[in-house]
Amino acid sequence: MALRGGDGLAYAKVMRAVGMLLLLVSSAGAQEAAEPAPPSCDPPCRKGYFCREGVCVSECNPVCPSNYICQNRECIADPNAPRVVAVQPTSGESAGPGKELSRNSFVGVGGGVRLSVSATGVTDLPSSSVVAIDTGSRYVGGGLALSFPQGGIVIVTDFIRAQFPLNVTSRWVLEPQFGISFIYGSFDDFAYQQLALVPGLRVRCDITNAFAVFLQAVRFDVAVYTNVSHRDPTLSGRVKDTLVYASMGAGVQVRY
């Protein structure tokens, strides 16, 4: 069908408008396809974080420390975080790390020499070897010692001994001592009994928590009472003088 001149011009304008509309629509679609959607966070960010280009970022700056969460851009304690409870040392346990329990009780053995300092008559004994065993706790002890002078034996029994440990260092301890002892001596011709006061000084070195060595720097047996039983009756009876004996030695202790 042939179009007249006016109609043809109108038709051309309509077609040109339709073409431009289609061009605009296709251009907008191409532009929308060229812009990709922003990346999402999978799984979703937890409370206090938001998604930025596929990464969960804290709303708080700087980031909250451990066991805290960000809420309304503020760090608050996380109510779901595990709570740390301080463990208190029980009775008898050491409060400090690496410290062992103190061991104050002990059993010790030792040896040394015993001699007369101030003695008269048959009780003036020559120097002799001595062996001893003692036991006790931190402040109280006792023990038994045997001395072997020529021709006889002397038994020294410490009824009670008080000791006062003074820590010089972590290992070295000075122990001033004072006690009461009963002494019995037996020889071929006579025997004697004594009651003595016993001052002394011991130096101890704790090698381990359970083992120590000691030096009995000095020990005096001050006999305030002495009674002699002699084969010769004229030599028997109580000795009025105060007799003094000294001993020195060393030994080891097991502490528990």
pLDDT of 128 strictly over 90 = yes
Residue at 114 is within a domain: yes
Could you tell me how far CA 101 lies from the centroid of its own chain?
7
If you average pLDDT over residues 58-80, what whole number do you get?
A: 81
Whether residues 121 and 78 share a domain: the answer is no
Residue at 88 is within a domain: no
Tell me how far apart the alpha carbons of residues 199 and 162 are, in angstroms, rounded to a whole number.
9
If you average pLDDT over residues 60-86, what whole number do you get?
A: 77
Cα–Cα distances in Å, from 223 out to 43, 169, 177?
93, 35, 16
Residue at 220 is within a domain: yes
Tell me how far apart the alpha carbons of residues 185 and 157 are, in angstroms, rounded to a whole number.
11
Residue at 187 is within a domain: yes
pLDDT of 11 strictly over 90 = no
The pLDDT value given to residue 78: 81
Residue at 16 is within a domain: no
Place of tokens 């025997």: 191
How many domains does the chain contain in total?
2
pLDDT tens readout for residues 92-116:
444 444 444 568 899 999 999 999 9
The pLDDT value given to residue 18: 65
Cα–Cα distances in Å, from 237 out to 26, 135, 191, 193, 225?
141, 34, 11, 11, 11
Tell me how far apart the 2 most distant CA atoms of the chain are, in Å.
Answer: 180
Q: What 3-state class would DSSP assign to 22?
A: helix
CATH number for position 122:
2.40.160.20
Give the pLDDT band (50/70/90) at residue 4: low
Whether residues 66 and 113 share a domain: the answer is no
Residue at 214 is within a domain: yes
The pLDDT value given to residue 23: 66
Read off the tokens for 40.
């999402």
Please identify, among 24, 49, 83, the residue that sits at the C-terminal boundary of a domain.
83
Place of tokens 């001993």: 247
Whether residues 122 and 44 share a domain: the answer is no
The pLDDT value given to residue 169: 92
Angle at 229 between CA 224 and CA 233, to 5 degrees: 120
Whether residues 67 and 125 share a domain: the answer is no
pLDDT tens readout for residues 155-182:
999 999 999 999 999 899 999 999 999 9
Residue at 226 is within a domain: yes
**Looking at per-residue confidence, does 106 or 59 come out higher?**
106
Q: Provide, rounded to the nearest whole percent, the portion of the chain with pLDDT above 90.
A: 54
Please identify, among 22, 51, 83, the residue that sits at the C-terminal boundary of a domain.
83
Whether residues 121 and 248 share a domain: the answer is yes
Whether residues 208 and 153 share a domain: the answer is yes
**Residues of the domain holding 186:** 106-255
pLDDT tens readout for residues 211-246:
999 999 999 999 999 999 999 999 999 999 999 999
Whether residues 59 and 182 share a domain: the answer is no
Whether residues 61 and 124 share a domain: the answer is no
Whether residues 67 and 143 share a domain: the answer is no
Whether residues 112 and 233 share a domain: the answer is yes
Provide the β-strand partners of residue 216: 202, 249
The pLDDT value given to residue 65: 84
The pLDDT value given to residue 211: 96
The pLDDT value given to residue 95: 47
Average model confidence (pLDDT) across the chain: 84
Of 27-31, 47-51, 76-80, 193-197, the poorest mean pLDDT is in: 27-31
If you average pLDDT over residues 51-76, what whole number do you get?
A: 81
φ and ψ of 21, to 5 deg: -65, -45
pTM metric for this prediction: 0.60
Whether residues 181 and 68 share a domain: the answer is no
Whether residues 112 and 204 share a domain: the answer is yes
With beta carbons less than 8 A apart as the criterion, state whether 118 and 130 touch.
no
Per residue in 214-234, is it b (16+ CB within 10 Å) or e — as a string?
A: bbbeebbbbbeebebebeeee
Q: What 3-state class would DSSP assign to 234?
A: helix
Residue at 161 is within a domain: yes
| DSSP for residue 23 | H
